[in-house]
Amino acid sequence: MLYIQHAPIFHALFSTLEDYYDNGRDSLEDKLNEFFEILTKKMFEVLNAQYDFDDTYLSCATVVINEKQGGDLHRQIVSSLRRSFVATRALAQGLYEADRVLTNIQKVLFLPLICIHPT
């Protein structure tokens, strides 16, 4: 039930990951940090559902939570995801380019021979 209520957060993350994979334009690390900031806020709200918090308080609570946890787990996850996606994207681009090169080589190798006969 909690996932369904907060599904847009995860949909945004998956959309960000797809966009990075396809285009590589935005900083993946910045986007992942934004995701974890939003996720931390939502978790804090869910765990303290009996209270009503404004955005300023939630932002402050997120900073304090990250400081108390040392931010190590967050940084490790972001770093691992970033490295994985950079490597995956590079591999996919390499495979795409290899396919393109091989297709062009095939076209060249299988061109019909044209003989010019002197008349």
Is residue 94 scored above 90 in pLDDT?
Answer: yes
Question: Residue with structure tokens 């918090």?
Answer: 53
Q: Of 21-25, 97-101, 103-107, which range is least confident?
A: 21-25
Q: Which pLDDT score is estimated for 98?
A: 93
Quick: pLDDT tens for 19-60: 888 887 777 888 888 888 888 888 888 888 898 888 888 888
Q: Which pLDDT score is estimated for 99?
A: 92
Q: Which pLDDT score is estimated for 118?
A: 61
